[in-house]
Amino acid sequence: MTHSNNTALSVNLNKIALIRNSRPGNYPNVLTHGEICINAGADGITVHPRPDQRHIRPHDVYELSELVSNYPGIEFNIEGNPFAESIADFPGFLKLVCNTKPHQCTLVPDTNHQLTSDHGFDLHRSGKSLQPVIKQLKDFGIRVCLFMDPDIEQITLAKALGADRIELYTGPYAEAFKTPGASFDRLFEKYLSAAGHAQSIGIGVNAGHDLNLDNLGYFRKIPALLEVSIGHALTVDAINMGLSSAVKTYKAICTS
């Protein structure tokens, strides 16, 4: 089994913002660190604004959108719960997306107070409510990606709703990777089958969650993997090796 062609690396800046928000002021500066990532070879920037604003805040979304517009070929990806409503200083997820018009919007079924995204959509339950959201985003010229488990039936439903891509939730893969064996092999086969099915019906495949320097290379055995979004592990590695070096190291895996 061979690796896919180059996979785009989108760096999630949430944890940079989380550190900034732990103190008054603007240190570390999210915009500056986004530019470091781009200059180090990142193909895109990802943010996941949440209503509680524990990391990325609305002003970050606007400023990063403007930053990315100065770098042709670099993509801006906003991910989050499409039904996150306006509360306090949060204008609502869809309003943020439609105002900034990112290249890609990755819709994620997390709740307002969820620690992190930990499952894909069940489109039997949420498909009807998602359909007008997907149409609205596509009418703005935004590529729509749905956060999904490696479930062939669900991916077929994603296609019917008009999604352009799926982002495979790789949390279970990352956990299973720690203990190689038959159960890991069976799980990885599910990811291979899900990705192959998506591609066969015309949906692009992204991936993200808990991917790191240890497990990313193996996951790239999935053919035609278009993009990975990595934030937490890359930020942790940046503490040890510096942000620019961390981005370059992940980028090297994505292009090997």
- Set out the domains of the chain in order of their start, with CATH numbers: 8-254 (3.20.20.70)
In this prediction the pTM is 0.95
Mean pLDDT, the chain, integer: 94
Confidence of residue 101 (pLDDT cuts 50, 70, 90): very high
User: What does the pLDDT look like over 181-223, one tens digit per residue?
Assistant: 999 999 999 999 999 999 999 999 999 999 999 999 999 999 9
Q: Which two tokens stand for residue 68?
A: 């990315």
H or E element, residue 174: helix 171-177
Comparing CA positions, the residue from 116, 126, 130 lying closest to residue 48 is 116
Confidence of residue 1 (pLDDT cuts 50, 70, 90): very low
- Catalytic center residues: 48, 79, 209
Binding-site residues for 3-amino-2-oxopropyl phosphate, in ranges, read: 12, 23, 210, 231-232
User: What does the pLDDT look like over 30-88, one tens digit per residue?
Assistant: 999 999 999 999 999 999 999 999 999 999 999 999 999 999 999 999 999 998 777 77
Q: Which two tokens stand for residue 88?
A: 């306090």
Binding-site residues, in ranges, read: 12, 23, 50, 55, 116, 210, 231-232
H or E element, residue 99: helix 93-100
